[in-house]
Amino acid sequence: MSKTPSPLVSLIPILILVGMLFATIKTFGSDALNGGSQLSLLVTTASCILIGMVFYRIPWKNYEKAITDNITGVATSIIILLIIGALSGIWMLSGIVPTLIYYGMQIIHPSFFLASTCLICILVSLMTGSSWTTIGIALLGIGKAQGFNESWIAGAIISGAYFGDKVSPLSETTILAASVTETPLFRHIRYMMITTIPSIVIALILFAILGFSTDTHSVQHIQEVALHLEQRFTITPWLLIVPLVTAILIARKVPSIITLSISTILACIAAAIFQPEVLREVAGEESLFKGMMMGCYGSTSLSTASPALSELVATRGMAGMMNTVWLILCAMCFGGALTASGMLKSLMNVFIRFMKTRVSLVSSTVCSGLFMNLATADQYISIILTGNMFGEVYRKEGYDSSLLSRTTEDAVTVTSPLIPWNTCGMTQATILNVPTLAYLPYCFFNLLSPLMSIFIAAIGYKIARRPKAEIHPAEVEELAA
């Protein structure tokens, strides 16, 4: 029987990964996800396997099986990611997202600007599944023209964007957290609302107070952005039928692949009806079918009167998801190697010593997720490592996987833009041209979410337990022991 590596030895691959990612991010910056981070994961996987095979005599077949099992477990999520790539592209070209932005911006009033900015970014990120949205650039310009501090505006933008990114069924991080913890996607989203809604409500109240305490100017920029949208797309309430149908399917718990596929098909039909000129421009000819296909699978760009708006309506399609798919596959290899070598179990045993209660379990998960964000400088890798490390502990303690998936997102997804050297922190600071440490104190939602996760665990509100039917008799004996 192979000897289990000690916690110190088990830390070696983690330290190698941190070193590799530090060098990669320093060299490539926000482009690290284009291959550098993936290669870092593979190199770290190789070092983990080498240590296990040479010093602990762990056979290669164990690693091969663990890696294969990990990749098999995320196969459905990879399919969902590809469908989401198609959906996000065609939702933009069909005018659905521009329509939502257009109507959303009508609610902006100077006194409510910061709260409205947060709400608009929530809306956009919910519909696009991405927190890296350039609508923030337009809102930043509007806010500065009205006399608001740019750090306040950036905080409102990031708070709203990461709320949507956290709970949107189109978000890569949402799908990843659900996949890694083996939680059904829509169950994961519904359970997150318990901590997410209170956090965003408090954040909106704080932004409203800041807004009322500031002398403001005109709303000219808002009108300009709305005009540019009208010039580029056919804006009509009829387009809202597609997100409405999607919301109904989600509420009725229709499987995510079916829901997203239906939504994509409806958006293609809407694009052909309401945005034929846009599809022809994308296709470069008269073929609407070609324009729809290109919108679903490839990168597209449309010219508008505003450079920031042109960047916002640019799409990536299914092809734009390939870096994430590649990253997931490489991370699954690393997770499989850690599991097969016994290193993951060895590291978890250290954490288990501090997990005496429900609160300590959730708190340890939050601290671990934040540490992973600091150490690996990437939210995707942090989600995968946190989910893998704590999955067995939550299962043995009788908690439903949705508690782990929610805590992981509360700890990892929303804190990633608060770390200057994290890919998210670098990207937001670059896009908004506001230093990370300048906007950090005003990202109220991001700061509140991990604290809210611990608070909800402390009061014991709706803590999800595993159904008795899912608990094997052997686990009952283990728990009793």
Whole-angstrom distance, CA of residue 325 vs CA of residue 299: 17
DSSP 313-358: T-B-TGGGGHHHHHHHHHHHHHHHHHHHHTHHHHHHHHHHTT--SH
Report how far apart, in Å, the C-alpha atoms of 2 and of each of 49, 53, 342 are. Answer: 14, 10, 9
Residue ranges with strand state E in 125-236: none
Question: Does the reported pTM lie above 0.75?
Answer: no
Print pLDDT tens along the chain (481 aa): 457 788 889 889 888 988 888 888 788 876 777 888 889 889 999 999 999 999 888 999 999 998 888 788 777 777 877 887 888 789 889 988 788 777 766 766 667 888 888 888 888 778 766 666 546 666 776 676 566 788 898 999 999 989 988 888 877 788 888 888 888 888 899 899 999 999 999 999 999 888 887 765 556 666 777 788 888 889 999 998 998 898 788 777 787 788 889 989 999 999 999 999 999 988 888 889 999 999 898 888 887 777 767 776 777 888 887 877 887 788 778 878 888 888 877 877 776 676 678 888 888 889 888 887 876 667 887 888 788 778 888 888 788 888 899 999 999 988 988 887 666 776 677 667 788 788 999 999 999 999 999 999 888 888 777 665 455 444 444 444 4
Residue 245: count other Cβ atoms within 10 Å of its Cβ.
14
Whole-angstrom distance, CA of residue 287 vs CA of residue 182: 42
Closest to 432 (Cα-Cα) out of 77, 159, 35: 159
Closest to 4 (Cα-Cα) out of 337, 345, 334: 345
Residue 184: count other Cβ atoms within 10 Å of its Cβ.
15
Q: Collapse the DSSP code of 228 into the 3-class scheme (helix H, G, I; strand E, B; otherwise coil) and give the result.
A: helix
Residue 61: count other Cβ atoms within 10 Å of its Cβ.
9
Closest to 38 (Cα-Cα) out of 331, 320, 290: 331
Report how far apart, in Å, the C-alpha atoms of 225 and of each of 9, 228, 239, 433 are. Answer: 56, 5, 19, 20
Task: Quickly tell me which residue has 């990202």 as its tokens.
Answer: 443
Closest to 140 (Cα-Cα) out of 370, 431, 363, 376: 431
